[in-house]
Chain A
Amino acid sequence: MSAQPRPSTLTAAETAEPRAGDIALPLWIIVLLFLLLYWGVVYFDQYSGGFSPEVYMPCRSTAELAMYQPPAGAPEFAGGKTVYENVCGLCHGTDGMGKPGQAPPFVNSEWALGNPNRMIRIPLAGLTGPIQVAGQQYNLAMPAMGAALPDDDLAAVLTYIRQSWGNKASAVTPEQVKAVRAEIGNRTQPWTAEQLNAIQ
């Protein structure tokens, strides 16, 4: 018995695969979603601290964190003061004004405020002979008072000299001292003003 296909009674619409309707998303929801997205991004921008592992609340950025760091110069400055009063102050005076017949002043001294490479050399090997300091002529001898000091102490005391009693010059870093120490090697001969002036 041959099976004759019966003509379908279903309409085309009934046999088609079911489809989701094309219901348009209301415009206000789209706007709201974008507003929320915008708010989220702004929030991230303000509070994520750039995803830095170092930034914790209540700081919001590395800049704010940096604002709350203790002043870096302070301990160096204080340490320099102690060394100064123990080593340098006896002749140069705790006020940095020097003592007649013993030592020239540091206040407004072009040697203390000038090129640190010249200044670092003086305590490392001493200084002798005529020298002009703050408009006055001196002819004294200074022993190598700083040769035995470690780099960081010497840097601290030189920074103290350059930044105290109204002096305003850049700080001296231990790296600078180390470099100068390496340059002059085992020199024990005191410097003269001409030799120092030749150094850049």
Chain B
Amino acid sequence: MNYGPLIFLAAFFALAGSWSGFVLTPQLQIGRLQQTNTIGNPTAAYPVARPGLAQQGLDVYRANGCAYCHSQQVGQTGTVLEIALTDAGTNHPPIIAALLKLAAAPADGPTVLTALPQLEAARTNGGSAMLLDGLPKAFLRSSSREGANAAIKALYAAGAKAQLWIVPVGPDLARGWGSRRTVAEDFLFEAPVMPGSQRVGPDLANMGTRQPNVNLHLLHLYAPQLQMKGSTMPPYRFLFERRKIGLEPSPEALVLPAEVAPPAGYEVVPKPPARALAAYLASLRADAPLFNAPLTVPASATPATSTNAATTAASAK
């Protein structure tokens, strides 16, 4: 009996199935991704294309294999709803009583996030000024939107003003690697996308928010152990030029401490690739609040975009 057609069909459907799953479906899902708006600021487009130098830095990042040790994707295991007091007025006892009452609510309601003993103490001896200082501060954590809204209403009734904060959580975020998970939009202007898979070094998705100073990035590339004791990162000194000081020292020369400084009469100047890579690292920020990845940005913080990173980079130079 001739099994040829059967074997052909079986192989065809097996390959077509995985092709649909790994290639076709993602293409249909996010193949036509466009710039989007950050939530809370409908006029701010996200993401913004990198400025030229930072865009060249992407190629340096790729050429030097940075992605083999550094990832650019932040994970998130959950989102919590926090209820923050923004204004407590002057009459504190009813607010504290309301907080304690909300904390004693059933399991699906809000629970006290911080300072339960201090709250109890404040109720018994009336000393509440310290506790309600430094607002806005999150006091309650809720597992449901309805519970959170009810709690905010109860706090309003007690004379305080409260806000709902959307706070992403997860081990990566606890390490300070970002304020939310990375989503496909974050990589819209990356070609090729280098999300990385190993984390020999820290995640770089938000490097620009952690260290906006281009000069410190250059210093780190020249001598990683200077700023990070025990770092296993190799120094990228071939991206720098050690040369004799000419008529006057270059304004771009690194300011190096004694242990890595060149001999007297010499200076270390970054070559163009090093400057591009540092500009690229300073432009890395994936922290804008998006519909896909919602979070509450504290009111004092300015909305962050790649453009901001670029201006910071330019002013730092």
Q: Is A25 an interface residue (CB 8 A)?
A: no
How far does the Cβ of A183 sit from chain B's closest Cβ, in whole Å?
26
Interface centre among B144, B163, B181, B292 (most CB of A within 10 A): B292
Stretch at the interface among B75-83, B194-202, B207-215: B75-83
Stretch at the interface among B25-33, B89-97, B226-234, B300-308: B25-33
Decide: A68 near B166, CB < 8 A? Known: A19-B1, A58-B79, A75-B40: yes
The count of chain B contact residues (Cβ–Cβ below 8 Å) is: 27
Decide: A67 near B33, CB < 8 A? Known: A51-B25, A58-B76: no
How far does the Cβ of B139 sit from chain A's closest Cβ, in whole Å?
17
Q: Are A70 and B30 in contact (CB under 8 A)?
A: no
Q: Are A71 and B291 in contact (CB under 8 A)?
A: no
| Residue in contact with B291 in the complex, picked from A51, A58, A69, CB distance below 8 Å | A69
| Residue in contact with A74 in the complex, picked from B1, B25, B163, CB distance below 8 Å | B163
Contact with A along B278-317 (1 / 0, CB 8 A): 0000000000010111101000000000000000000000
How far does the Cβ of A124 sit from chain B's closest Cβ, in whole Å?
24
A20 to B293, CA, bound (A): 56
Q: Is B183 an interface residue (CB 8 A)?
A: yes
Q: Is A1 an interface residue (CB 8 A)?
A: no
Q: Are A71 and B76 in contact (CB under 8 A)?
A: no
Q: Is B145 an interface residue (CB 8 A)?
A: yes
A55 to B145, CA, bound (A): 18
Chain A residues whose CB sits within 8 angstroms of the CB of B151 once the complex forms: none
**A-B residue pair count with CB separations less than 8 angstroms:** 49
Q: Is A7 an interface residue (CB 8 A)?
A: no
Chain A residues whose CB sits within 8 angstroms of the CB of B294 once the complex forms: 65, 68-70
Q: Are B30 and A53 in contact (CB under 8 A)?
A: yes
Q: Are B29 and A68 in contact (CB under 8 A)?
A: no
> Within residues 1 to 54 of chain B, which ones have a CB less than 8 A from any CB in chain A?
1, 25, 29-30, 33, 39-40
Contact with A along B202-226 (1 / 0, CB 8 A): 0000000000000000000000000
How far does the Cβ of A117 sit from chain B's closest Cβ, in whole Å?
25
Cβ-closest chain B residue relative to A152 = B42
Q: Are A53 and B29 in contact (CB under 8 A)?
A: yes
Chain A residues whose CB sits within 8 angstroms of the CB of B107 once the complex forms: none
Q: Is A56 an interface residue (CB 8 A)?
A: yes
Q: Are B79 and A53 in contact (CB under 8 A)?
A: no
Interface centre among A20, A58, A68 (most CB of B within 10 A): A68
How far does the Cβ of B298 sit from chain A's closest Cβ, in whole Å?
12
Q: Are B292 and A54 in contact (CB under 8 A)?
A: yes
| Residue in contact with B39 in the complex, picked from A56, A67, A70, CB distance below 8 Å | A70
| Residue in contact with B40 in the complex, picked from A20, A51, A68, A70, CB distance below 8 Å | A70
| Residue in contact with B1 in the complex, picked from A17, A53, A56, A58, CB distance below 8 Å | A17
| Residue in contact with B145 in the complex, picked from A17, A54, A59, A67, CB distance below 8 Å | A67
Q: Is B260 an interface residue (CB 8 A)?
A: no
Q: Are B81 and A65 in contact (CB under 8 A)?
A: no
Q: Is B164 an interface residue (CB 8 A)?
A: yes
Q: Is B184 an interface residue (CB 8 A)?
A: yes
Q: Is A13 an interface residue (CB 8 A)?
A: no
20 cross-chain CB contacts under 8 A: A17-B1, A19-B1, A51-B29, A53-B33, A56-B292, A57-B76, A58-B79, A58-B170, A67-B144, A68-B81, A68-B166, A69-B39, A69-B166, A70-B39, A70-B40, A70-B166, A70-B294, A70-B296, A71-B164, A74-B164
Using a CB–CB distance below 8 Å, which chain B residues touch chain A?
Answer: 1, 25, 29-30, 33, 39-40, 76-79, 81, 144-145, 163-164, 166, 170, 181, 183-184, 289, 291-294, 296
The 3 residue pairs across chains A and B that have the minimum distance between CB atoms: A53-B29, A68-B79, A67-B145
Q: A65-B291, A68-B79, A69-B166 are in contact. List 8 more A-B contacts (CB 8 A).
A: A51-B29, A53-B184, A54-B291, A55-B292, A57-B76, A67-B145, A71-B164, A74-B164
